[in-house]
Structure 1
Amino acid sequence: MTKKVTPRLVMAILSAGMLSFLGILDETATTVTFPILTRDFAITTDQVQWVNTLVLLVIATIVPISSQIRLRIPTKKIFILGVSLFILGLLIDIVTPWFDLLLVGRALQGIGTGIGLPLMYNIILAEVPKEKLGFMMGIGTMITACAVAFGPVFGGTVTDALNWRWIFIISLFLIVISLLTGIYSIRQINPLQKVKIKYGQWLSLAVALVCLMLGFTRIAKYSFLSVPVLGFLVLGIISLLIWLKISWSDKEALISPQLFKNLRFSMQLIAYCFAKIATLALGFIFPIYVQAVNHGSVSLAGWITFPGAVINALMAALAGKLLDKKGARLPIIIGVIASLTSLILMNILAPLSSIAIVLLYVLYYGGYGMCFGSLMTSGLITLSKANHAQGNAIFNTLQQFSGALGTALAGTLIAIAQNNHVGNGTAIGSKWTFMVLLVLIIVNLVLALVFVPKKKSK
């Protein structure tokens, strides 16, 4: 049967995309409330970043098993399970009086999002005709980009008008609507199979990701050679090597490490991860920077990032159309150069005025919108169609882990600066982060020039 982009298919994509949309919306919305959360719960900067880092880390551990879940469980049931867990997390977030319980609620949101996140892209890859694939992948990217755009404004406005708990109350209303439209529109996208779940592979990979993150985030409080830092990092590396060993020869591996032998795929994946690290780090820094360094309000912290995030959403859609016509190289190169230029200026001009933040955010996010979705599409195209689902799982797993790493990077560097530089620690830690991100995006430019194909894939 000929594939067509029908209204019902669009509704299914949007319904599945609402999980990732609200996951990112709540993440970016709560970022502007971090100074308030640190006061309300009497916690530090490196602790409050776990409100978002934990969600991204949980998603990263859930996504790898998604490729097997979709083979055993009907598509609609996967969607309903993800939404149900997300709703439970929201209910906890709304009523909790304790920070630890807030993290439990956020973790449940992460599990729900991790179950539902790959679903949108799997629907696109399975149902959309190839000539529309770039555009629809751009739409998928734009869904999450819109959450980035509206999240800070939404969080700042709601917090100023009501309080931060209303972020989750409004999200609850939206996810219920998504549940109803998804039940109507989502159809089975693949034949079900009685596959054996690879619990050993999943557990070893999950332990690796968690331990690496725990080790990295504790650098702000402990020395590198201490057990809480080096111990967790070593345990993470050992777990990663165990995953590699038990997965390498398995032809039906949960995530096949054999895919990394494809150099174009691997290098574009690295560029994709570096872009995500930089983006989440900046998304963490600027709302805090506006309030702590420039002494702006919560609403201003939200609105100041809005223009750049809107440009990001528009550029994501434009990049999809450009990819369909010209191939991936052009939007990726343009995007990386724009983001690199912005980071160079951040390092030169820091400390930044609020106007400078607006303009540099527009330049950075415009470039990010051009290159991010295109890197994923270009990387997946280098794989055979049979490996698309696994490639999709790899991209989504490392996207979430990279996002968590970016948030943790910024939170850790700012916390270290605050501990050692009383009064201006936020500004100094931000400058350190800008320098690290500049190095990452320089590497991205090299990777894009060398490994993104020059000709459009047929």
Structure 2
Amino acid sequence: MDDKVTPKLLTAILSAGMLSFLGILDETATTVTFPTLIKEFAITTDQVQWINTLVLLVIATIVPISSQISLRFTTKRIFLTGITFFVLGLVIDIFTPRFDLLLLGRAFQGIGTGIGLPLMYNIILTKVPKTHLGFMMGIGTMITAAAVALGPVFGGIVTELLNWRWIFIISIFLAIISAFTGTYSITQLNKLQRVSFKYGQWLTIAVGLVFLMLGFTNLAKNHFWSGQVVGCLLLGLASLLIWGKLSWNDSTALISPRLFTNLAFSMQLLCYCFAKISTLALGFIFPIYVQTVNQGSVSLAGWIMLPGAIIDALMAALAGKLLDRQGARLPIILGTIASLIGIVIMSIWGMHLSNLAIILLYSLYYGGYGMCFSSLMTSGLTSLATDSHAQGNAIFNTLQQFSGAVGTALAGTLIALSQSNHQISRAVATAIGAKWTFLVLTGLIILNLVLTTIFVPRKKH
């Protein structure tokens, strides 16, 4: 293997990454269009949330089969299939006169994103020389972080100057460019094999993840012991137990549950999930805090989130360089400490955060997150045998979506509980709910610091 990342390889990574970039960009951009969509389609707030919730559910069902798809079909065919689904979804989104068709288009986009997200990381893990692996994994994380950074501002500007459909019109041009560059640059990653598809294992994983995500999502609107919450959670757990039984002794399992017996892998995966839960919870809280507590506008909320997201993207690349030279332990622990300092100060000042304080503390937290997040994934995957990387990659990317749903549900539930106290103003109740969330997240990040100190290897792999 060449010891350099060639321009063609970099183009392949960016082409596959464009699917995940556009998927996340459209998700975060459409969030700021919710009030417009509610009026245009005459729908409720609960209904409009499905524009993004549905995408998360579709991704969660597609990513687990990525490792087996890569064995049966050529890499270029997988990429072009993802592009086709994504563009088809965009076309439906652009021309739809009805909300149900908009949901259909978003579902097709979810399929494309679910194909593109693990494909990008598989290309990096398979083709990038080990001496540059940390940096390129950081670039992969930076691609998705850039989408998070640009999404709210992009969506607000496009909706204000044109209309919400232009979000998808612009995306379709970028997707077509990606199709051409990917066709040129993406090469085969592995030898194809004649493997039988594990329908039972896939169905039980998909059903389990969907019901668990629905359970945590419903937690923001229903009490824990309601059928919508505890019922979904129990069904999800039961389905995953069936998957474990079906897969445990299968040497060609879709995803082997035996991977979780590797403590270094499992504990770093858990830290990865806690970091994602915390980040999505903060991403949910601060736009509401800026508008409800500080009386700012929607566009101001988007701009306030932008510096932190940009710093996250830059620190992800820097952490990758540091990982390549010093190993994963240093960027992970430094990043976790930085995030912890930010979240502790948020907890102390939670009732009185000015917009400037939000910018500074979110940047401190998000910079630390950028340092540790991709490094946790890189370190966790390299703790597995090489032939298990595709399955490990699928696990990380699937649980990333699941953790996002948990984080949003956690923040939404705590704020909703506080706002149910009608004896105080909505602004004060929102600030109290935000402080409760900061305290819970502080506990998660402290646990992350303890676990990473114990389980992240002291030496380079």
Question: The TM-score by the shorter chain falls in which range?
Answer: over 0.9
Aligned twin of 1:423 = 426
Partner SS for 2:426: coil
In structure 2, the gaps of 5 or more residues are none
Matches of 2:419 and 2:51, distance apart in 1? 19
| Superimposed CA distance per residue, residues 327-385 of structure 1 (whole angstroms, 9 cap, x where no aligned partner) | 11110011111111111111221232211111111101100100000000110111111
Q: Structure 1 counterpart of 2:379, which letter?
A: S
Aligned twin of 1:240 = 240
TM-score (norm 2): 0.94
Aligned twin of 2:440 = 436
Matches of 1:399 and 1:100, distance apart in 2? 27
Contact 1:275-1:368 within 8 A present in 2 as well: yes
Matches of 1:414 and 1:36, distance apart in 2? 24
Q: Give the total of aligned pairs.
A: 457
Matches of 1:218 and 1:420, distance apart in 2? 20
Give the superposed CA RMSD.
Answer: 2.0
| Superimposed CA distance per residue, residues 288-340 of structure 1 (whole angstroms, 9 cap, x where no aligned partner) | 33233333233212211111111111100110010011111110011111111
1:366 matches 2:367: yes
Contact 1:157-1:302 within 8 A present in 2 as well: no
Matches of 1:64 and 1:287, distance apart in 2? 32
Distance change in 2, residues 1:160/1:87 (3 Å): same
Aligned twin of 2:394 = 393
Deviation at 1:416, TM superposition (A): 4.2
| Superimposed CA distance per residue, residues 28-59 of structure 1 (whole angstroms, 9 cap, x where no aligned partner) | 22233345445555656555443323222321
Partner SS for 2:217: helix
Contact 1:335-1:366 within 8 A present in 2 as well: yes
In structure 1, the gaps of 5 or more residues are none
1:75 matches 2:75: yes
Partner SS for 2:219: helix
Contact 2:344-2:442 within 8 A present in 1 as well: yes
Aligned twin of 2:90 = 90
Matches within 5 A, 1:130-169: 130-169=130-169
| Superimposed CA distance per residue, residues 135-176 of structure 1 (whole angstroms, 9 cap, x where no aligned partner) | 111111111121122222212222222233322221111111
TM-score (norm 1): 0.94
Deviation at 1:86, TM superposition (A): 1.1
| Superimposed CA distance per residue, residues 405-441 of structure 1 (whole angstroms, 9 cap, x where no aligned partner) | 2223333444444455463354443333323222211
1:296 matches 2:296: yes
Aligned twin of 2:123 = 123
Contact 1:49-1:408 within 8 A present in 2 as well: no
Matches within 5 A, 1:100-111: 100-111=100-111
Matches within 5 A, 1:253-268: 253-268=253-268
Q: Structure 2 counterpart of 1:161, which letter?
A: L
Matches of 1:51 and 1:434, distance apart in 2? 27
Tell which deviates more after alignment, 384-393 or 367-376.
384-393
Distance change in 2, residues 1:439/1:133 (3 Å): same
Distance change in 2, residues 1:427/1:51 (3 Å): farther
Distance change in 2, residues 1:418/1:50 (3 Å): farther
Q: Structure 2 counterpart of 1:216, which letter?
A: F
Matches of 1:433 and 1:41, distance apart in 2? 33
Contact 1:34-1:288 within 8 A present in 2 as well: no
Query: Percent identity between the aligned chains?
Result: 74
Contact 1:215-1:232 within 8 A present in 2 as well: yes
Q: Structure 1 counterpart of 2:193, which letter?
A: Q
Partner SS for 1:224: coil
Moved segments of 4+, more than 6 Å = none
Partner SS for 1:304: helix
Partner SS for 2:224: coil
Tell which deviates more after alignment, 215-224 or 163-172.
215-224
Q: Structure 2 counterpart of 1:123, which letter?
A: I
Deviation at 1:107, TM superposition (A): 1.9
